[in-house]
Amino acid sequence: MAAKNIVTLDANNFSDEVLKSSQPVLVDFWAEWCGPCKMLGPVLDELATEYDGKARIGKVNIDDHQDLAAQYGISSIPTLLLFKGGQVVGQTVGLKPKGALKQAIDAALK
């Protein structure tokens, strides 16, 4: 389902792929049954392609990885957390337009 440059995240790789990343990482907390999450998928695929080499996109299935969802206080999905330098620097909840997500990523790249 995910594009080849979208990383599927779990408790085993979250630290290396997100917290230790030298690039900003936009992490999508989602679930298979979530309609807005499915609508966001193609947008994330486009962003992953556009920001390839500059920023990364990751996805956490909250049904499979409830520990990560709890750790970051995820109560609604889709929730997107933007990490830079191992810290959360941005958060959006719900379906957002591509432009809003691009603004957040661009700000993290500065």
Q: Tell me which residues are annotated as active site.
A: 34, 37
Report the C-alpha gap between 12 and 18 in whole angstroms. Answer: 11
Q: In the chain, count H helices and then E strands.
A: 4, 5
Residue 27: enclosing H or E segment and its boundaries?
A: strand 25-30
Separation in Å, CA 48 to CA 30, 55, 59, 74, 91: 16, 8, 11, 22, 18
